[in-house]
Amino acid sequence: MPHEQDEIRRNLPLKSRAFHMLLVLADGDRHGYAIKQEVERLTGGVLRLGPGTLYETIQRLERDGLIAEALGRPDPEKDHSQRRYYRLTDLGRGVLEAEVERLGGIIDHARARVSSGPRR
């Protein structure tokens, strides 16, 4: 397990786009455009992924072992055969969980500081 923890720590902190993409894939396999759409929906359109950014981030997440191309297709009859589907790897899930914990600690600290700070 120490090696796995080292790999997780090596991938932190995640950039916002990578975090959101892993979060989307935590729900199940998706193709690139579906990842883009769901990230935009989850962020209320604040985070927009252009094609270059989307596929560059997918390539980096694949190279780092956080996602992999999924072997199956959800519904081949309703899908374009050229689409590549991606899935979260075990390492990717570990990194996502660690990032959620890290961000949660930051939020807890920020809430405590804001609520105890001087009022004007």
Task: Name the 3-class secondary structure at 73.
Answer: coil
Fold of 2-116: Arc Repressor Mutant, subunit A (1.10.10)
Q: Using one digit for the tens of pLDDT, what is the confidence trace for 39-64?
A: 999 999 999 999 999 999 999 999 99
Task: Label the pairing between strands 85-88 and 67-69.
Answer: antiparallel
pTM: 0.88
Q: Using one digit for the tens of pLDDT, what is the confidence trace for 60-107?
A: 999 999 999 998 766 655 566 678 999 999 999 999 999 999 999 999
Q: In this structure, is the dihedral angle defined by the CA atoms of residues 105, 111, 113 and 116, taken in order, positive or negative?
A: negative
Domain-by-domain residue ranges, the chain?
2-116
d(CA 80, CA 69): 16
User: Alpha-carbon dihedral of residues 75, 51, 88, 23, nearest 10 degrees?
Assistant: -100
d(CA 96, CA 102): 10
